[in-house]
Amino acid sequence: METDTLRLFVLAADKSNISAAGRELGLAPSVASAWMAKLEKCIGADLLHRSTRKVSLSTEGLEFLPYARDIIAREDAARAALGQGRAAVSGTLRFTAPSTFAQLYIAPLLPAFMADHPELRLDLRLSDKQFDLIDGSFDLALRNAVLEDSTLRGRKLADDVRVLCASPAYLTEAGSPTTTDDLKNHRLLAFGSDTPQRLARDDGTIAEFNPNAGRCNLIIDDGLSHKVATLAGAGIALHSLWSVHKELSSGALRRVLPEYRCVTDTALWLLYPQANVLSAKVRVFMDFLLHEIGRTPEWLQNT
């Protein structure tokens, strides 16, 4: 099995077109088709379903694709270690991140990154739904979570500070809670399948924020909509500081029970599959995000 044929297969999967993949490698369409047939014969399975307009991955192709990517990454890493790597980073980088964070902090940076790496193609999947890195053949993911999965490796981008807040209009209407017990008498917003969050004060007092224990009649699974509803006066909600720090500074939102902090092990992590070699394309994008966002996150500068 030759790595050049694996590169062709990965490109064909990314582009849904064998001829287009072949052109990127400098191959005539007939040669590209012959190479794919040779690979499938070697594997002993049809990796691609072909039609007159495009190709799609077969079940075997879906299973084989992550391994093909890994083999290519290992070869590239080995060549780079010997000084034989390409001067420019190229290929396709599949990256997934929460949509709200990506809109605020990643999307504005993309033009500068792409200008520095014009041969790299970014394939972004931005959603508050968490995709499986292995099944989705992702090279890198940003997750707002506790790092527990032993099949993943990662680097922390920044701490995740969470605060209770509400709109001034809501607090004028319902009053500002002065104790955590008061929360049960307020409208509370839940984000997705929110679990109870521990709250702590500097004097050691521990309490809990549990939307489902209060008057929670609004559950939202989209981060931006969750913030918009809070701004509109729907009630009190727990938000990551990176999402609401500008609104808190402007007065569009106000802290609720500011003497309490949310006790959590969650952080913003850049994750990649443990089995994968950290390829050049992943490294440059990860280093870029760490430099531009993670050095001194703007939402933590005045806390």
CATH code: domain of residue 112 = 3.40.190.10
CB-count exposure of residue 112 (10 Å: 0-12, 13-18, 19+): exposed
Handedness of CA 152, 154, 156, 157 (dihedral sign): negative
CA distance 247 to 263: 22
R_g over Cα of the chain:
24
CA distance 201 to 159: 19
Please, what is the end-to-end C-alpha distance for the chain in angstroms? Answer: 55
The answer on 115 and 33 residing in a single domain is no
The answer on 93 and 180 residing in a single domain is no
CB-count exposure of residue 257 (10 Å: 0-12, 13-18, 19+): buried
Q: Which domain holds residue 142?
A: 86-160+264-303
The answer on 293 and 147 residing in a single domain is yes
Let me know: does 94 contact 138? Beta carbons within 8 Å.
yes
CATH number at residue 241: 3.40.190.290
**β-strand partners of 145:** 267
Let me know: does 193 contact 220? Beta carbons within 8 Å.
no
- Residue 193's pLDDT is 65
The answer on 61 and 45 residing in a single domain is yes
Amino acid residing at 77: A
What are the pLDDT tens digits along the chain (303 aa)?
Answer: 688 889 899 988 888 888 888 888 888 888 889 998 989 888 888 888 887 677 888 888 898 998 888 888 777 766 655 544 554 678 888 999 999 999 999 999 999 999 988 888 999 999 877 777 777 778 899 988 766 666 678 888 988 888 999 999 999 999 999 998 898 889 999 887 667 888 888 888 888 888 776 677 788 888 899 999 999 999 999 999 999 999 999 999 999 999 988 887 788 999 887 655 677 888 889 889 999 998 778 877 765
The answer on 11 and 81 residing in a single domain is yes
The answer on 231 and 188 residing in a single domain is yes
Domain boundary, last residue among 52, 85, 118: 85
Amino acid residing at 89: V
CATH number at residue 44: 1.10.10.10
Domain boundary, last residue among 32, 56, 85: 85
Question: Tokens 């709200």 sit at which residue?
Answer: 100
The answer on 153 and 13 residing in a single domain is no
- Residue 270's pLDDT is 92
The answer on 171 and 258 residing in a single domain is yes
The answer on 26 and 151 residing in a single domain is no
The answer on 238 and 97 residing in a single domain is no
The answer on 241 and 277 residing in a single domain is no
The answer on 138 and 8 residing in a single domain is no
Domain boundary, last residue among 61, 85, 109: 85
Q: How many domains does the chain have?
A: 3
